[in-house]
Each structure stands twice: as C-alpha cells, then as structure tokens.
C-alpha cells in the first residue's frame, strides 16, 4: 500500500529513521559507559521497543501499569515504572512483579516504604524501590539536600520486603532551554546532582546500586556520564518538531508524521482545512517559548516529507486549519490532497492513535499496535 491509499488521519512511522535514532542513542549511551533503559511512553509499541533494545538486555522504562503488563506479557520483564507509586496501585504492581524478572517502582514520599513493605510482606514478595529525586524540574521527587533524600533510602534499605534500587531523576525542565549551552548546563546539573547524592548516601553506608537519569534533550547534549549507571531517554526514538527546534536532533531525524487530507479550501482567506485536528495531532503548544513562537500545532509536509513551510495554525477536534498560503501552493491543494504533519510532541500525538502505519522505502509495509490506557 502507498501513502495515497491509507485512510486519513493516520500515523505514519518511518522505520528507517526509527532504526537510525535507536542505533545512535544506543551507541552514544554505551560509549559513555551507561546502560540504556529507554522510556517507551513515547511509542507504547512492542515492535518499536524491540528495535531500541538488544536481545540480551531488553530493559525498559514504562509510564503506566497497562504498558508494564503489555510489555511483560511480550517478554520485556525488566521494567521500571517511572511514576511514583501510590497505595491504590500496590495490588496491581505486586501482581505484576510476580510476572517480572524485575519490576522497579519509585517513591518520593517518606510514608510509602512502610506501607509498601507491609503490602509486599502480606503477599510474600520483595520489591525494588527507587528514590525519585528532583534535579530542578519540580514536578516530583525529593530535593537532594533535604533530610528526606537520606531518610527515605534508609527506610527502604531497612524494610524486610523492599530492596533499595537506587536514585532516579528526570530533567524535564531541560525542555525550556533557550540555547545548546543552556541545555548543556541542565544536562551536567542532572548528572552531577545525582552523582553527588549517590556519594553522600554511600558515605552514610547506604549502598546505591543504580544512578538513573535521563531525558532526550539532556542525554543528547551531555558530554559524559561518569558515575551514572543508566540513561532513560524516550522521545529520541521518534523526535519531533519541538526537539528539532530545541537542537536535540535535525528535522530529518523525525520519524513520526500524521497523514492527513485536505477537506476544505477557502480562497477568500487563502486557507485550507485538513482532517487532522486536536485528536489526531494533540494540542501541545510546541516551541513557542524557545525560539519558534509561530510553530502552531505542527509543520505541514508533502507526501514525500518535504517541508512546505506551512504550519497548522489552529485546531478544533477534527479540523486543522492551515493559513497564509501563497497563490501557487493554494492552487495545488485541492480537496482530497494528501499531506503529512510533523507534530510538536510525538509522544502525545502517538498516544491519540490505535496503531502505526509502518513506512519503509516509500510503502506501508506493516501495522504496529499502540498500547494505550492505564
């Protein structure tokens, strides 16, 4: 099947670019002496995970227990569930831990170790638990210089049915970097804060088996990973318009687009409407604050992937509005014309769809399922 035969809107995944992105990140992280544990929240897809992990050590980071169940049932049994655990999920997590070679959880709450330990004791399982650290993002995590940063690991290490897995952070604030130099500052900080905390914990006789860090921007920019055991970037496998603007990749590295059709043309206002609206693209605002204030909701490409220098300027549920067309281009875009949109944030775009249409050498060669839900 070729791109003009696929019903729209539809996700198109350029598998050659996925392979290239996977290989580059694997090489980069291995050269720096760390283990790559990719975050699969970006794609939620077993076939993509197989491309980004080696058969010998297929370890992953997941963002939902639904992902964990789906991947564990398909042979990925070394998992880190990278959202803080809460009591309502203890039962499901314990059940899953029985299926896994290793399921690591994380917490930043001083009350959780005792509660989780009791649940694990009753079920007679032993659970791995990380301390989640805040390295500046201020979303979750304990700040490294607080007493909780020492107290929580101690409580985990002393609990009969828990193992202290180590310390884990995510520099999500790196997405606000305005230059490569600023990004490097965030990247070094993410690494150094964690290496220092690990040393301080070890100095109080708490063994720290794993120092885990990572986001796509910081792992793409960091110069070395001394003292870090594992890296957990996720978005790098597809990249997107935001990452290319930020400087983590080039536009030609972006692997995911949304195939769409023109459904309306307005010659008075020189605009066309496409059938990729907010549900197909997501409403992520993109790089508005970091150098591309007019990024809209995605860049419009032709079927071959050439940038037409147009943006999806506004969205409603099933409509995307593409404005300010020059005369020649407007004349080309008839109702039914196929286009592709490179969206701002590939993780959110992918999560709107049931499957990827896999593009290889210009043809759709396969369909890969996306595991959504919680």
Ligand X SMILES: Cc1ncc(COP(=O)(O)O)c(C=O)c1O
Using CB under 6 A as the criterion, which residues of the chain lie in contact with ligand X when the complex forms?
39, 61, 82, 170, 214-216, 232-235
Cβ 253 vs Cβ 21: under 8 Å: yes
Question: Closest separation between CB of residue 291 and ligand X, Å?
Answer: 18
Q: How far is CA 256 from the centre of its chain?
A: 13
For residue 263 the two structure tokens come to 């459904």
Strand ranges in the chain using DSSP code E only, listed in sequence order: 10-14, 35-36, 59-62, 78-81, 102-107, 127-133, 162-169, 210-213, 230-231, 256-266, 271-274, 298-301, 307-315, 320-322, 338-343, 355-360, 363-369
Q: What is the smallest separation between the CB atom of 215 and ligand X, expressed in angstroms?
A: 3
> How far is the first Cα of the chain from the last one, in angstroms, to the nearest whole number?
33
Nearest approach, Cβ of 20 to ligand X (angstroms)?
17
Query: Which is nearer to ligand X, 104 or 300 (by Cβ)?
Result: 104
**Smaller CB distance to ligand X: residue 77 or 169?**
169
Cβ 333 to ligand X, closest distance in Å?
A: 33
Nearer to ligand X, 62 or 120 (CB): 62
What minimum distance in Å lies between the beta carbon of 105 and ligand X? 12
* The two structure tokens encoding residue 197: 């905390």
- How many CB atoms are closer than 10 A to CB 84? 16
Q: How far is the CB of 219 from ligand X (least distance, A)?
A: 7
Q: Measured from the CB of residue 112, what is the shortest distance to ligand X in angstroms?
A: 17
Complex with ligand X: residue 319 or 353, whichever CB lies closer = 353
- What are the residues facing 357 on neighbouring strands? 12, 367
Burial of 301 (0-12, 13-18, 19+ CB in 10 A): buried
Which residue, 208, 214, 112, is CA-closest to 166? 208
Q: Where are the beta strands (DSSP E) in 228-288?
A: 230-231, 256-266, 271-274
Q: Supply 259's token pair.
A: 């195939």
CB of 89 to ligand X, least distance (A): 16
Say which residues have a Cβ less than 8 Å from residue 210's Cβ, sequence separation at least 6.
130, 165, 166, 167, 168, 229, 230
Which CB atom, from 8 or from 212, has the smaller least distance to ligand X? 212
In the chain, how long is the greatest CA-to-CA distance? 73
Q: Which is nearer to ligand X, 260 or 346 (CB)?
A: 346
Least separation in angstroms between residue 304's CB and ligand X is 28
* Nearer of residues 61 and 257 to ligand X, judged by Cβ: 61
β-strand partners of 75: none
Smaller CB distance to ligand X: residue 59 or 215? Answer: 215
* CB nearer to ligand X: pick between 283 and 332: 283
Closer to ligand X at the Cβ: 216 or 282?
A: 216
Instruction: Kindly report the number of other CB atoms within 10 A of residue 112's CB atom.
Output: 22
CB 136 to ligand X: min, Å: 14
Structure tokens at 167: 């310390």
Q: What are the structure tokens assigned to 104, written together?
A: 């690591």
Query: How many of the other CB atoms lie within 10 Å of CB of 208?
Result: 20
């Amino acid at each position: 099947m070729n791109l003009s035969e696929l019903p729209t809107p539809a996700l198109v995944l350029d598998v050659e670019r996925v392979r290239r992105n996977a290989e580059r990140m694997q090489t980069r992280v291995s050269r720096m002496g760390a283990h790559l544990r990719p975050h699969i929240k970006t794609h939620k897809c077993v076939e993509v995970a197989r491309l980004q992990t080696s058969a010998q050590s297929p370890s992953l980071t997941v963002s939902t227990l639904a992902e964990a169940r789906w991947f564990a049932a398909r042979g990925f049994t070394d998992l880190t569930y990278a959202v803080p655990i809460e009591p309502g999920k203890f039962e499901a997590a314990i059940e899953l831990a029985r299926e896994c070679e290793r399921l690591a959880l994380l917490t930043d709450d001083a009350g959780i170790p005792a509660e989780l330990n009791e649940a694990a004791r009753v079920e007679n399982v032993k659970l791995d638990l990380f301390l989640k650290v805040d390295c500046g993002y201020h979303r979750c995590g304990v700040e490294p210089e607080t007493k909780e940063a020492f107290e929580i690991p101690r409580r985990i290490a002393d609990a009969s049915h828990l193992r202290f897995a180590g310390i884990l952070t995510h520099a999500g604030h790196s997405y606000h970097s305005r230059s490569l130099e600023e990004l490097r500052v965030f990247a070094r900080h993410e690494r150094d804060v964690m290496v220092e905390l690990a040393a301080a914990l070890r100095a109080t006789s708490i063994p720290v088996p794993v120092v885990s860090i990572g986001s796509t921007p910081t792992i793409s920019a960091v110069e070395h990973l001394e003292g870090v055991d594992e890296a957990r970037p996720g978005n790098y496998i597809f990249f997107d318009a935001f990452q290319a603007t930020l400087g983590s990749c080039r536009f030609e590295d972006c692997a995911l687009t949304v195939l769409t059709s023109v459904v309306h043309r307005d010659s008075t206002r020189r605009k066309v409407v496409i059938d990729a609206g907010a549900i197909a693209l997501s409403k992520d605002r993109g790089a508005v604050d970091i150098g591309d204030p007019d990024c809209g909701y995605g860049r419009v490409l032709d079927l071959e992937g050439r940038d037409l220098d147009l943006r999806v300027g506004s969205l409603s549920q099933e409509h995307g509005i593409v404005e300010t067309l020059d005369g020649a281009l407007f004349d080309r875009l008839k109702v039914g014309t196929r286009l592709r949109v490179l969206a701002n944030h590939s993780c959110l775009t992918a999560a709107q769809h049931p499957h990827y249409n896999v593009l290889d050498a210009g043809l759709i060669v396969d369909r890969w399922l996306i595991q959504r839900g919680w």
